[in-house]
Structure 1
Amino acid sequence: MKRFFLVIIFILPLSLLVSCQHPTQTENLNAEEDMKDFIEPEPSEWVKYSKIVREYMYYRTQAVVKNDIQILWNQYPRLKNDIDFKEGVNVEKEEMESLNKHFDLIDANYNIESYGRMKVNMIDDQNAIVLVHGSTVYLRKDFDESGGEYVMKIFLEKTNSQWTVVKTDEYTQEEYKEWFNSRQ
């Protein structure tokens, strides 16, 4: 029951914003087509990608808990570009502002595979996209929790043998519904 309320806390504000928008291309999303090139990585590759995603989530949750988006942007400067809340692209600042507007946060926990195994789409030797279906739970000052489930694509670019996060694309409510229904 608590998990249900956590999901509502994240989805309700998003649904209010989405319902006020004009139709977008996400309403015509074909979830199966969107997912066709993602596969579960081999164990050695899983270790590499999970470390990259955990590091991103660490900086993201620290930015939210400390109400300072620069913590994330200092590590991944390209995430401050091309922000598009309507499409779910690079929306970390929006999450930080929204949660800190309503709650006093003191800690965070995340699980990058709480709802499903991580999958990867290797674009080429220098670019990959990691699909994550996980959860983030923030501990509030009153020791209650806020947070919930997310489905996110994390875009990676390799430079000098190092992978770095260059873009994130979280599923909006419409995209999530389409994706969820395609799995049924």
Structure 2
Amino acid sequence: MWLTKSRTYALYAFCICLLSAFSAASAQDIPAVVGMHQNDPAEKQAIEHVLSIYTTSFSNGDEAAFSSILLNDQVPFSSTAELHLDKAEPAHLQTSRYARFKQAVFESGKHYQQQFYHVRIEQDGALAQVSLDFVTRDADNHGGGYGWKSLTLLKVNGQWKIASEFYTVYPLPG
């Protein structure tokens, strides 16, 4: 066997040194301004308030309140499943599906409860990204789904608005 114990240790040490050298070189190549976002705790609170309006209006079936936190009714808004990404033509991909969501949540007569977990907010000036886990339950039969969503928000005329939402969704177990 060509790899003796001492050669194995030597190879291991060489790999560690090589990785360290590349890591150090990569860190030195990053400009100091990278990651220096203009964020403010007050803006984070304002974004958290938008998320509170989201879950409250969703759970109460309040379409007017929900619409008030959207940039407009044409925002990209879709589950990844309904986009059929595995066979989609990128040039023809239609992501503005808010009308379907609105019909299901606010016009169907069904009532849902939605809760957010593991909320992560990144903000730089008038742009914010929120990613979170969610659970949606049908209030009548307690079925529902769960998934992960990513929202993009823009601050327009002093107000944070949801400019896009994409999410995964899976049926709740059992």
Gaps of 5+ in 2: 1-34, 86-93
1:119 counterpart residue number = 120
1:51 matched to which residue of 2? 49
Match of 2:150 in 1: 153
1:89·1:167 contact (CA, 8 Å) conserved in 2? no
By relative contact order (CA 8 Å, sep 6+), the higher-ranking structure is 1
Whether 1:94 aligns to 2:100 is yes
Structure 1 residue 161: Cα displacement = 2.7
RMSD: 3.8
Structure number with greater Rg is 2
Q: Return the alpha-carbon distance in structure 2 between the equivalents of residues 151 and 51 of structure 1.
A: 19
Residue equivalent to 1:110: 114
Post-superposition shift, 1:54?
Answer: 1.9
Figure out how many residues of one structure are paired with residues of the other and give that number.
Answer: 121
In structure 2, the partner of 1:169 is: 166
Letter of the 1:166 partner, please give it: A
The within-5 A match list for 1:1-184 is 47-62=45-60, 65=61, 72-73=66-67, 75-82=69-76, 85-86=82-83, 89-97=95-103, 105=110, 107-113=111-117, 117-122=118-123, 124-140=124-140, 144-171=141-168
- Identify the structure with the greater helix proportion: 1
- In 1, Cα distance between equivalents of 2:121 and 2:109: 35
Using the aligned pairs only, state the percent identity.
12
Q: What is residue 23 of structure 1 aligned with on the other side? A: none
CA distance in 2, matches of 1:42, 1:118: 17
Partners of 2:152 and 2:145 in 1: how far apart? 22
Aligned to 1:78, what secondary structure does the other structure show?
Answer: coil
Q: Which amino acid in 1 is paired with 2:126?
A: Q
